[in-house]
């Protein structure tokens, strides 16, 4: 991880405008936050031998992705979710393209990436930013999944509602969303998906957005979508992710993370990334030479996780471009890197600094927007992720579902600070979460962090 320079990830957040939004206010914190007394032991990551017995299947008649032996469709045991995985990866690829286009236009309108309203960034009631990309991604994911499964009962939990767009003030915004959606859907065949026969109307787009109103829960199957996770990073021209997961009977069974600014190789992530992105508008890069993003995916129980480049960078979706990813083998805290949210309003930097010190971590924290932090753990670019939100904040399932299964299948461990698995079965929130979230590349580091949390919790100001 040493070659990823901290400032490349956090450059945007150090600007005065970035520092001021949202307010980094820790008032309202309650001492003695509830600790969960006990829970079932966290499920261990699948053993490597399981991974060795599964393989990627490409170019078959149905272009199915997965063939985990002993668990094929209808074969008893675990399902392999081949069809769902295929749909999810393709759909997230389309969503990445939409986001790239919107981010480029935001940066063109406002090269400083300050996230000001003039560049097409709007404010939600909680003052968090929202853009055309949030609604656009939600609409295309909803439309494409429903079309792929030819099934009106596709059920989706997602972050955005249609209120702003449906209001009389939202007419211009809605037009922009409709244009962005149609601009991408017309290219769907490039991603192996069907385009609508004619452009979607505003009412179709609103309907697709509205369809994402499932409330989740313990039974049945639903998709979970964060259309643009890390919206602050998105509007600042930095990291963000499109996160899509499938939950069945309260368990995350499949996750896909689109990371449009997180290159296939960490060496490509450098100080100049933002400069190159801006320059690419002057002189568009030749196909295949840009490689600035990736899509990661895994399904539960396969023991493998995968990464492929963005179709937008390569021209066509080709499963042969996928490669397996694994967590880091580093277990010595001295050599380990931990990552955490950029904004201290979202996670206490002082508490994690104390933990890092007591565990013996020596490197500077890697502060990265969005679930790209989960991507970094899954492919071995960092060893530890910690998030300790202020008391009273309830984590939402769409901010974690896709990343959790990808980390686990890549060999990592993720629990709350009490060592319990995150519970995706209780609606849109991660109810019962004990203090914070800790993901590690291995059980040893994870155990040491949990011990450090217990040792320092009572004397903390959290």
Annotated catalytic residues are: 134, 231
238 binds Mg ion (CB under 5 A): no
Q: Is the peptide bond preceding residue 358 cis, with omega within 30 degrees of 0?
A: no
Residue nearer to ligand PPS on the CB measure, 128 or 213: 128
With CA atoms as reference, report the closest residue to 273 among 252, 256, 290: 290
304 binds ligand PPS (CB under 6 A): no
Residue number of the CB atom closest to Mg ion: 229
**CA triple 408-410-413, angle to 5 deg:** 35
Among 86, 229, 383, 395, binds Mg ion (CB under 5 A): 229
Q: In angstroms, what is the minimal distance from the CB of 192 to ligand PPS?
A: 27
Q: What distance, in Å, lies between the first and last C-alpha atoms of the chain?
A: 30
CA 178 to chain CA mean position, Å: 24
Among 80, 84, 147, 226, binds ligand PPS (CB under 6 A): 226
Q: Which does 345 bind (CB under 5 to 8 A by kind): ligand PPS, Mg ion, none?
A: ligand PPS
What is the sign, positive or negative, of the torsion defined by CA atoms of 176, 178, 180, 182? negative
Q: Which residues within the stretch 93-152 sit at the binding site for ligand PPS (CB under 6 A)?
A: 128
Q: Are 390 and 28 in contact (CB under 8 A)?
A: yes
In this structure, what DSSP letter does residue 32 have? S
Q: In angstroms, what is the minimal distance from the CB of 86 to ligand PPS?
A: 25
Instruction: Provide the mask over 346-385, with x wherever binding to ligand PPS is found by CB under 6 A and - wherever it is not.
Output: x----------------------xx---------------
For the chain, how many residues are written?
Answer: 462
162 binds ligand PPS (CB under 6 A): no
Any residues with CB less than 8 A from the CB of 459 and at least 6 apart, and which?
A: none
Q: Phi-psi region for residue 392, left (φ > 0), alpha (ψ -120 to 50) or beta?
A: left
CA separation for the pair 292, 294 (Å, rounded)? 7
Q: Are 295 and 317 in contact (CB under 8 A)?
A: no
Instruction: Provide the mask over 313-352, with x wherever binding to ligand PPS is found by CB under 6 A and - wherever it is not.
Output: ----------------------------xxx-xx------
Residue nearer to ligand PPS on the CB measure, 79 or 379: 379
Among 389, 401, 404, 450, binds ligand PPS (CB under 6 A): 389
Residue nearer to Mg ion on the CB measure, 226 or 343: 226
Angle between helices 273-282 and 82-109 (to 10 degrees): 80
Q: Which residues within the stretch 366-405 sit at the binding site for Mg ion (CB under 5 A)?
A: 399
Residue nearer to Mg ion on the CB measure, 226 or 238: 226
Q: In angstroms, what is the minimal distance from the CB of 398 to Mg ion?
A: 6
What is the sign, positive or negative, of the torsion defined by CA atoms of 32, 33, 36, 41? negative
Q: Which does 408 bind (CB under 5 to 8 A by kind): ligand PPS, Mg ion, none?
A: none
3 state SS of 159: coil
**CA triple 303-145-177, angle to 5 deg:** 120
Contacting range for ligand PPS; rule: CB under 6 A; set: 224-232, 276-284, 331-339, 408-416 = 224-232
Question: By the criterion CB under 5 A, which residues form the site for Mg ion?
Answer: 226, 229, 399
Question: By the criterion CB under 6 A, which residues form the site for ligand PPS?
Answer: 128, 226, 229-232, 341-343, 345-346, 369-370, 389-390, 393, 396, 399
């Amino acid at each position: 991880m040493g070659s990823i320079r901290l400032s490349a990830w956090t450059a945007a957040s150090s600007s005065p405008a970035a520092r001021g939004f949202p307010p980094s206010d820790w008032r309202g914190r309650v001492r003695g936050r509830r600790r969960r007394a006990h829970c079932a032991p966290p499920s261990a990551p699948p053993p490597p031998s399981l991974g060795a017995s599964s393989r990627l299947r490409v170019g078959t008649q149905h272009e199915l992705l997965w063939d985990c032996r002993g668990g094929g469709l209808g074969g008893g045991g675990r399902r392999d979710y081949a069809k769902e995985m295929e749909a999810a990866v393709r759909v997230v690829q389309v969503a990445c393209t939409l986001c790239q286009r919107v981010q480029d236009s935001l940066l063109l309108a406002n090269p400083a990436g300050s996230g000001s309203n003039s560049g097409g960034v709007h404010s939600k009631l909680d003052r968090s930013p929202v853009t055309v990309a949030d609604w656009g991604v939600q609409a295309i994911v909803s439309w494409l999944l429903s079309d792929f499964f030819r099934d009106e009962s596709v059920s989706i939990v997602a972050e955005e509602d249609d209120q702003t767009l449906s209001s009389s003030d939202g007419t211009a915004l809605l037009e922009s969303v409709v244009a962005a959606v149609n601009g991408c859907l017309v290219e769907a065949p490039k991603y192996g998906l069907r385009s609508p026969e004619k452009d979607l109307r505003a009412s179709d787009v609103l309907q697709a957005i509205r369809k994402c109103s499932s409330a989740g829960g313990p039974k049945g199957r639903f998709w979970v979508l964060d259309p643009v996770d890390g919206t602050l990073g998105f509007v600042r021209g930095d990291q963000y992710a499109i996160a899509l997961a499938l939950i069945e009977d309260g368990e995350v069974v499949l996750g896909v993370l689109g990371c449009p600014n997180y290159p296939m190789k960490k060496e490509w992530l450098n100080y100049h990334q933002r400069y190159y992105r801006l320059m690419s508008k002057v002189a568009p890069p030749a196909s295949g030479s840009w490689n600035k993003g990736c899509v990661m995916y895994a399904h539960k129980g396969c023991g493998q996780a995968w990464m492929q480049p963005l179709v937008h960078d390569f021209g066509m979706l080709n499963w042969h471009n996928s490669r397996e990813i694994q967590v880091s083998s580093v277990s010595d805290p001295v050599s380990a890197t931990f990552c955490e949210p950029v904004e201290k309003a979202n996670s206490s930097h002082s508490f994690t600094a104390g933990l890092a010190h007591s565990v013996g971590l020596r490197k500077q924290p890697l502060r990265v927007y969005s679930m790209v932090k989960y991507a970094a753990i899954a492919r071995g670019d960092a060893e530890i992720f910690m998030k300790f939100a202020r008391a009273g904040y309830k984590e939402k399932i769409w901010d974690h579902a896709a990343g959790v299964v990808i980390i686990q299948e890549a060999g990592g461990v993720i629990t709350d600070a009490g060592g319990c698995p995150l519970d995706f079965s209780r609606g849109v929130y991660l109810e019962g979460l004990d203090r914070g979230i800790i993901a590690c590349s291995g059980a040893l580091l994870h155990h040491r962090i949990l011990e450090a949390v217990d040792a320092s919790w009572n004397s903390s100001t959290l």
